[in-house]
Amino acid sequence: MGRAFVYVILGGGVAAGYAAVEFAKRGVSHGELCIISEEPVAPYERPALSKGFLLPEWIELVLGTRVKSADVRRRKLLTATGETISYKFLIIATGARALKLEEFGVSGSEAENVCYLRDLADANSLVNVMQSCSGGNAIVIGGGYIGMECAASLVINKINVTMVFPEAHCMARLFTPKIASYYEDYYQSKGVKFIKGTVLSSFEFDSSGKVTAVNLRDGSRLPVDMVVVGIGIRPNTSLFEGQLTLEKGGIKVNGKLQTSNNSIYAVGDVAAFPVKLFGETRRLEHVDAARKSAKHAVAAILEPEKTGEFDYLPFFYSRVFAFSWQFYGDNAGEAVHFGDYSGSTFGAYWISKGHLVGSFLEGGTKEEYEAITNATRLKPAVEDLAELGRQGLNFALTV
């Protein structure tokens, strides 16, 4: 059994959805484009885990179908159902998978009240578990995005939350201790407990296989009704290992999102691409990068002469409780805090080698977010860090 398409998108997540919409906008013909996804539903917006993409119905959707091997030389994909799908151009948009506790030596992840969160099926099961333990105790393992966002949702749903993570403060990959302590204080005022500097060592189960308690490496034991795990991700590169060049855990691409094979492009969480602003290759795990890299790859495939290098300013954001922050650029070098850390609008700039390279802002207006975006893109020279801190947002607004 075999089918052939001009364009195949492997993966059915955020980047796949945006790539398909871009192909449609640019007038690809019926029968030319196929999306293959392991998920049983068409691509959707992962952050909301709700909104669907409006894909034209002529795109061939091969859903609920895992690709189990790829033959780059012959330009063929083999699905778990035994079908061969060949392509002229392939876009790899396989994203990433959630890391499992088993990979850190803890077993028991498959218990029904232990939840991970990556796709729609995970989100549905998390909501079911949460509804079944109203007023109960949840342990959230991991102090990153999933940990912080899920802890807030659990509290709003009247569940007692304890967060456990190995670092000294939450969001350690991005936040400074000062930024982290602002949010941690608020979480604590809402009843969240933090256990830092330790990790899980084992689960205890009842006779039905449900987790009833967790044991931590520091010796403490916590009774639980449910566990949410957000301990990072691993890009889905395995189909292409040994066939395409990898870097930073992802599939290495050039400024046109093209891999080491020139009929294959990679976008989204799985792609390691050159970030011009930093002069180095990065793999980003955020939705804005997924959307924009997907669109750029399609432009590069359809109009190679007219399409330049992808020039991307990294952008991350989150919204929890009534908070809303945005970050642009790179959190490298020295952080300079500004604004009112006892109020609701504050931020930080990062200065590396005498230039502003990153900006964080909580509670800004549209104009203020635009100002920090522009300032970060311009990378202005900064000599006096104390003066920068005093000027705060005015620096970005007048740069």
Residues 6+ positions from 201 with CB-CB distance below 8 Å:
106, 215, 216, 217
Closest residue to ligand NAD using C-beta atoms: 144
Closest residue to ligand FDA using C-beta atoms: 13
Told to check if 192 binds ligand NAD by CB under 6 A, we report no
Q: From ligand NAD, ligand FDA, none, which one binds at residue 141 (CB under 5 to 8 Å depending on kind)? A: ligand NAD
- Binds ligand NAD by CB under 6 A, chosen from 143, 250, 268, 329: 143
- Binds ligand NAD by CB under 6 A, chosen from 24, 213, 222, 233: 233
Q: Which two tokens stand for residue 234?
A: 């691993």
- Answer for the pair 266, 260: CB distance below 8 angstroms, yes or no: no
Write down how long the chain is: 399
Long-range Cβ contact pairs of 100-107 (< 8 A, separation 24 or more): 100/229, 101/141, 101/200, 101/229, 101/231, 104/199, 104/200, 104/231, 106/200, 106/201, 106/202, 106/203, 107/202, 107/203
Nearer to ligand NAD, 141 or 266 (CB): 141
**Chain-centre distance of CA 387, in angstroms?**
34
Nearer to ligand FDA, 232 or 380 (CB): 232
Nearer to ligand FDA, 86 or 212 (CB): 86
Told to check if 268 binds ligand NAD by CB under 6 A, we report no
Eight-state DSSP code of residue 384:
-
Residue range at the interface with ligand NAD (CB under 6 A); choices 145-153, 208-216, 257-265, 365-373: 145-153
Place of tokens 């009843």: 191
Told to check if 314 binds ligand NAD by CB under 6 A, we report no
Q: From ligand FDA, ligand NAD, none, which one binds at residue 293 (CB under 5 to 8 Å depending on kind)? A: none
Does residue 242 sit in helix, strand or coil? coil
- Binds ligand NAD by CB under 6 A, chosen from 28, 35, 62, 141: 141
Q: Which residues contact ligand FDA (rule: CB under 6 A)? A: 11-16, 36-39, 46-47, 49, 66-67, 93-96, 117-118, 236, 239, 268-270, 285-288, 290, 316-318
- Binds ligand NAD by CB under 6 A, chosen from 194, 316, 327, 360: 316
Smallest distance, Å, CB 318 to ligand NAD? 4
Q: From ligand FDA, ligand NAD, none, which one binds at residue 28 (CB under 5 to 8 Å depending on kind)? A: none
- Answer for the pair 200, 106: CB distance below 8 angstroms, yes or no: yes
Cα–Cα dist 303/298, whole Å? 8
**HSE, side-chain direction, 13 A CA sphere, residue 321:** 16
- Answer for the pair 146, 119: CB distance below 8 angstroms, yes or no: no
Told to check if 144 binds ligand NAD by CB under 6 A, we report yes
- Binds ligand NAD by CB under 6 A, chosen from 236, 259, 318, 331: 318
Phi, psi of 279 (to 5 degrees): 65, 30
Told to check if 286 binds ligand NAD by CB under 6 A, we report yes
Q: Which two tokens stand for residue 101?
A: 């506790």
Residues of the shown chain interacting with ligand NAD in the complex, contacts defined by CB under 6 A: 104, 141-147, 149, 165-167, 172-173, 199-200, 230-233, 285-286, 316, 318
